[in-house]
Structure 1
Amino acid sequence: MSSAALQIIALVTMLIDHIGYRLFPGVEPLRIIGRISFPLFAFMLVEGFIHTKGRWRYLGRLTLFAAISEIPYKIFSRGGRWWLHIWGEPLWNNVFFELMLIFIAVWSIQAALEKNKLFFVLTGLCLVLAGLMGTMYGVYGILMGICFYIFRKDRLLAAACLIALTILYCLQNWSLFQIWAILAAVPIWFYNGKRGPRLPKYFGYIFYPAHLLVICAIHGLIA
């Protein structure tokens, strides 16, 4: 299974999840399917980190689209009067902020192992910020990305780490809702390390805020 296939699975399952959240809130299977998306995004982010020749540009894109996507995400999650919730909630809830912190955490681990151990402080800071800032998946999401990097040469261990982290997360939150994320271990296990058909440039970045706004528009028409 190529990286393009994993990206498509991640995008489609995210779309299904968000359709369920906003348009069919009572249809739980749609939300269950959506649990698969984030682990795949985190896994492919780590793969992108490993293979990219322009890490600063990569980080810049993540930061830019995190900023661009926040208002569409607020509109999606809170509805028409989203601005009423700005001061009472974190301003960095969309998934790009989580992915940005994963990228920095993984980069700092590599720098600590290759240059100076002090870079581990930056890794710890990413974990602290994820918890304090209330990012989408918090510390759980950052640890997932770190595990994917540590076990990048062993997909079985990467999948096992995903399962273990997800179980711990569910136990900590006394909820089994996120347990379905372990299904993402299957495509990760079958990942062949190949790129596959090239998707349009920046498609995944643009798709995220765009699909949130489209779903909100549909919701507004049928509400």
Structure 2
Amino acid sequence: MQNLWGIMHGTETIPVRRVRDGALDLLKWLALLCMVLDHLRYIGLSLDGLYVPGRLAFPWFCLAIAANLHRVKDASPTFQWRYLGWLLLFSVISEVPYRMFIADAATLNVLPSLALGLLVARGWQQKTLFDRGLALIAVAIAAVFSTHLMFGFFGVLLPLAMLLVFRRPWYFSLLPGLVCVAANQWHVLLESANAVALSGLVACLIAPLAGLVLLRHAANASPPAMRRWAYALYPGHFLVLLLIRQLIA
């Protein structure tokens, strides 16, 4: 995942540098942790409060993808399309473990949403006819099949929204924050009107800013590097949690 997610560091704006940044690796690990915490709600225990940190996972994955796009925008097409291939491959691999763990899932796993989001953001960045065409196709797919995609239409737009704030002051993170809220069925959360739902809304709104602040101020962090093997953590964690659920049942 190192090549997929890129590296980012800045002060008042958000420039990207082409060397490994421990802050970005830390963001990846925290996004993975938040995802696992979110999915712990399905192991059979009363853990509804984990919904709140779970709202940080998807926007932080989108932020990392946007960071990588910004870093490799001048790389060769082969170098760039490799990332899309890994996403598509593990989209297929992950679907069975995902449905084994969440039997009543109403959407596909999260990787197709990320893959479409990558195409949309790259089309805006590259500005070639081919890339723009693929981006339009991705937007059309997201619009038509929104109910089948995790985080729906707005989830596909979130990597682009993240990319748009890279050279803007920090307060522009409100834009991806609003897109993130829209991707998380804000009307359902408002209708619920309980502490967990409202806290989840707040988490969605501030997740992009929190991720950008982390990338700015944790440059000296040195967590283990996430490389391509980390793609396997997505389907693998479903199988581990499924085993835990069977053991405690």
Do Structure 1 and Structure 2 share a fold, with TM-score over 0.5? Answer: yes
CA 1:35–1:172: 2 relative to 1, 3 Å:
closer
Output the CA distance in 1 between the equivalents of 2:87 and 2:141.
Answer: 16
Output the CA distance in 1 between the equivalents of 2:243 and 2:168.
Answer: 43
Scaled by the length of structure 2, the TM-score of the pair is 0.74
Give the equivalent residue in structure 2 for 1:68: 93
Output the CA distance in 1 between the equivalents of 2:67 and 2:241.
Answer: 29
Output the CA distance in 2 between the equivalents of 1:158 and 1:43.
Answer: 14
Give the equivalent residue in structure 2 for 1:154: 168
More deviation in 129-138 or 93-102? Answer: 129-138
1:42, 1:144 within 8 Å by CA — same for their partners in 2? yes
Output the CA distance in 1 between the equivalents of 2:40 and 2:132.
Answer: 39
Output the CA distance in 1 between the equivalents of 2:35 and 2:184.
Answer: 20
Matches within 5 A, 1:100-139: 100-112=115-127, 115-116=128-129, 119-133=131-145, 134-139=148-153
Deviation string, structure 1 residues 73-104 (Cα, Å, up to 9, x no partner): 1111107xxxxx8xxx66xx111111100111
Give the equivalent residue in structure 2 for 1:212: 238
Output the CA distance in 2 between the equivalents of 1:4 and 1:200.
Answer: 6
Other structure's SS at 1:47 match: helix
More deviation in 45-54 or 133-142? Answer: 45-54
Consecutive unaligned residues in structure 2, runs of 5 or more: 1-21, 191-196
Give the equivalent residue in structure 2 for 1:82: none
Matching of residue 175 in structure 1 with residue 201 in structure 2: no
Output the CA distance in 1 between the equivalents of 2:210 and 2:87.
Answer: 26
Give the equivalent residue in structure 2 for 1:47: 67
Give the equivalent residue in structure 1 for 2:41: 20
More deviation in 199-208 or 65-74? Answer: 199-208
Give the equivalent residue in structure 1 for 2:4: none
CA 1:175–1:197: 2 relative to 1, 3 Å:
closer
Q: Identity across aligned pairs (percent)?
A: 24
**Structure 1 residue 28 displacement after superposition:** 1.7
Consecutive unaligned residues in structure 1, runs of 5 or more: 80-84
C-alpha RMSD over aligned residues: 2.6
How many residues align? The count is 209
**Structure 1 residue 158 displacement after superposition:** 4.8
Matches within 5 A, 1:161-200: 161-169=175-183, 173-176=187-190, 177=197, 178-179=200-201, 180-184=203-207, 185-192=209-216, 197=223, 199-200=225-226
CA 1:99–1:168: 2 relative to 1, 3 Å:
closer
Q: Which amino acid aligns with 1:42?
A: C
CA 1:196–1:46: 2 relative to 1, 3 Å:
farther
1:147, 1:158 within 8 Å by CA — same for their partners in 2? no
Scaled by the length of structure 1, the TM-score of the pair is 0.81
Other structure's SS at 1:7 match: helix
Output the CA distance in 1 between the equivalents of 2:186 and 2:206.
Answer: 20
Matching of residue 99 in structure 1 with residue 119 in structure 2: no
CA 1:199–1:171: 2 relative to 1, 3 Å:
closer
